[in-house]
Amino acid sequence: MNTNGQIEEATSTHFESLNHLPVSLTQGQCVIHQHEILICGGYCERRCFSYHTLKGEYKLICSYPENVSLHGHCVVKRVNDKNPNDISVLFLCGSKFFKRHTLIMRYVSVWDNDGANIELDSQRDYNKWVPLTNSEGKPIVIGRPDDDYVGVRALVGGSENHLLFITYPSKNIDVFDLNICQFIKHDTLPFYYAFGGHCFVAKRRNDKKMCEMVVFSKHTGISITYDEVNNSFTAHSIQVCTTLRPLNQYAYIYVNDFILIFGGDDRPVIRASNSVYRYSMTKDKWMKFEQTLPIQLTGCAGVLSEDDLFIHIIGGSDGKGLTSTHLKTEVKTWMKEEETEIEKQWNVEETEKIEIEEIKHELEKIKDELDIRKLKKDIETIIEHWMKPLSIQLGWVDDFNIMICRYILRKYFKPLHVVQRYSCSVKSLQFSSNCTKLVLALSDETIRILDAKQETEIQILKGHSDFVYDAKFSLTGNMVVSGSKDATIRLWDVKSGSEIRILKGHTKGVTKVNFSPDEKIIVSSSQDQTIRIWSVQSGKETNILKGHSSVINDVQFSPDGHQLLSASNDETIINWNVSTGEIVKKLKGNLGSVYKVKFSPDGLLFASCSLNKTVQIWNVMTGTLLQKLVGHFAPATDVHFSSDGKIVISCSMDNTIRLWDVKLGVEIQKLEGHSGYMTGLDISADGNRIVSASNDGVSKYNYNYNKAIAKDDYNFVLGSKKNYITHTFSQFICLFLKLFQSIFE
């Protein structure tokens, strides 16, 4: 068994595989009744079954009527207070696009009833889905004409078990009184994204006239309390852990004031998960377990046994097709307090991610200017609690450094100004390696070289007869190479602005060009589906690499010059050996067209961006996907690593630049300013500046303000006693104190 198989086996032994379902099922809806699990259909599956938890067998109950569409439906159980053996199951489904139904099934066991002795009413239909009726016997349909019940979730509560709480897209919650068959309350929940197929549970309370519920969907969690006496809602937000946010269609159950979540998928790229999460409602704390489901599942259903001892996971898709999976696990397995080393590490990383997120939100609120008063107050608090004069202990310094690093010294950028405005589209741009120049490729058939400090044009290079798609400096900055829609590559002398030579061979537009690190060869990619290698000295074509089946959008050298990465509209990324021209690895991962690829500075990772709006980080050697960065609302068009490899910067057709933490996979900052979709960006080698371009003809700088406020060394006076900066403090404390002094100057 391979390593992955061993890990999966070791972390999945807490699940028992039961007899398979009679049918393959996804988006199933289930309720528990004594020793039975009632499996009330699934997506496009009309049949309903009872699973006997003691016998381990299934029996058919009934089927839904033929005119009922099962798509995102919901079922809830209502118990007869006078006879707990007598239950009704309520069915909700429909929208304005297909017929809405509200059905009810009064259930009696299809087994031997275990001595329940339910007195059957000859006037009622049992174990059959029939329309819900009011006291006059008239059919009623719960929901207004425009309500969308696809992905609806509901639960029964209230002092008399008579209130139906309904949450449904896009962000709605209703209260329906089952006794009078009327809506008595409607509200809109403060969700950022529309929800559907979400987590919706009720917390057990002693006060039956107060119903507390929790909703989780994507990035948002809401705790809702309904006051039955005043018919009112109160709500407060709950932070959802970052690794759960991409997931949808997961199974969930509520037990012992915990919410347990199993599986799910990260749409729109449907990739099933095997993760298990726990949220403590009393401690407001998340845990991601090292233990996992034995298989990846999405669209599965979770059911808690009536004695609260076992959890059943039923049906779902493994990302490839529907399954008939039925798993069982003990509740006590997931109630543990001690954490494994992997779980502790997840908690550490999650804390870092939340801290980054909080800083990002603060920056978004303050826009271009620092909130000096808030920062001053924070610094005063830090000084009061961490740096009381003459009482600094060496053991505190590391903790102090960590706090300062996280809160103050992360690299954040703010829009500075427009560098140049053109009447045509800027197709690409790049800093020279010494950060003194910029080269721009434009759709007006020219290449422009700018002084990066003075922001003035030094050279205008003319010679192409169509759009210039790309232009790049050599490492020394003495030459520029350009590629054009005219199918030619041109080599230019930067100092004189003269054309050195023309490289011909491509039969269609040249989309990307690059010098090798030693400046001896040039690589180019083209709409003709080939990559070509050229000698800088002779201008001759030395190799043609074939392997893509559509337009190649990008090609990049590795830092050592031995490998190439190429990105194509054929939805693949290819790793090539430069000397042999052979394919080392071909990657395909539901990406859509891949627009750009970029090696990390150490050559161990690479980033890609694509049509599916995501940025991906990969391991070069293994080809495994390490991070999928989600945040852009339109296709991502360019991506770069910072010089230290810790940050990835991307731009998109949503007109934004986003900065991401490579290790944690979270967004650090969002930059806005362009009016047209963004075509490219670059970050200077010193990490101080980002320059961006778009089809609105604008080239902009974004400046790192943290480095801007750092000053020369000095002596700092704290309070009434002098405390001089010495080698005892690390550079982080020095920088922090410099920042502190700059605020009060």
Q: What are the CB-based long-range contacts (under 8 Å, 24+) for 481-488? A: 481/513, 481/514, 481/515, 481/522, 482/441, 482/447, 482/513, 483/509, 483/510, 483/511, 483/512, 483/513, 483/524, 483/526, 484/445, 484/509, 484/510, 485/509, 485/510, 487/526, 487/528, 488/464
By three-state DSSP, how is residue 455 classified?
coil
Amino acid at 462: K
Element containing residue 397 per DSSP (H, E): helix 394-407
Residue found by looking up tokens 């959890």 in the block: 311
Amino acid at 384: E
Strand order in the sheet with 530-535: 510-515, 521-526, 530-535, 541-546
The whole-number pLDDT of residue 181 equals 92
Q: Which residues contact 586 (CB under 8 A, 6 or more apart)?
A: 547, 572, 573, 574, 575
Element containing residue 740 per DSSP (H, E): helix 731-744
The whole-number pLDDT of residue 689 equals 87
Closest CA to 452 of 691, 681, 680: 691
Instruction: Give the tens place of pLDDT for each residue, 173-206.
Output: 999 999 999 999 999 998 877 778 899 999 876 6
Q: What is the CA radius of gyration of the chain?
A: 31
Q: Do the beta carbons of residue 251 and residue 244 sit within 8 Å?
A: no
Q: Do the beta carbons of residue 409 and residue 400 sit within 8 Å?
A: no
Burial of 526 (0-12, 13-18, 19+ CB in 10 A): buried
What gap in Å lies between CA 224 and CA 190, rounded to an integer?
11
Helix axes 394-407, 341-366, angle to 10 degrees: 50
What gap in Å lies between CA 543 and CA 550, rounded to an integer?
19
Amino acid at 547: G
Number of other residues whose CB lies within 10 A of the CB of residue 152: 26
Residue found by looking up tokens 């690589």 in the block: 523
Please identify every stretch of the chain with a pLDDT value under 50, giving residue numbers as ranges.
1-10, 114-117, 368, 370-373, 388-409, 705-745
The whole-number pLDDT of residue 1 equals 34
Q: Which residues contact 608 (CB under 8 A, 6 or more apart)?
A: 567, 573, 591, 594, 596, 597, 598, 615, 616, 618, 639
Q: Alpha carbon of 411 to those of 408, 506, 659, 664: distances in Å?
A: 9, 41, 9, 15
Q: Alpha carbon of 458 to those of 156, 212, 390, 449: distances in Å?
A: 72, 67, 56, 6
Instruction: Give the tens place of pLDDT for each residue, 364-419.
Output: 665 545 444 455 555 555 555 555 444 444 444 444 444 444 444 455 676 666 77
Element containing residue 493 per DSSP (H, E): strand 488-493
The whole-number pLDDT of residue 383 equals 53
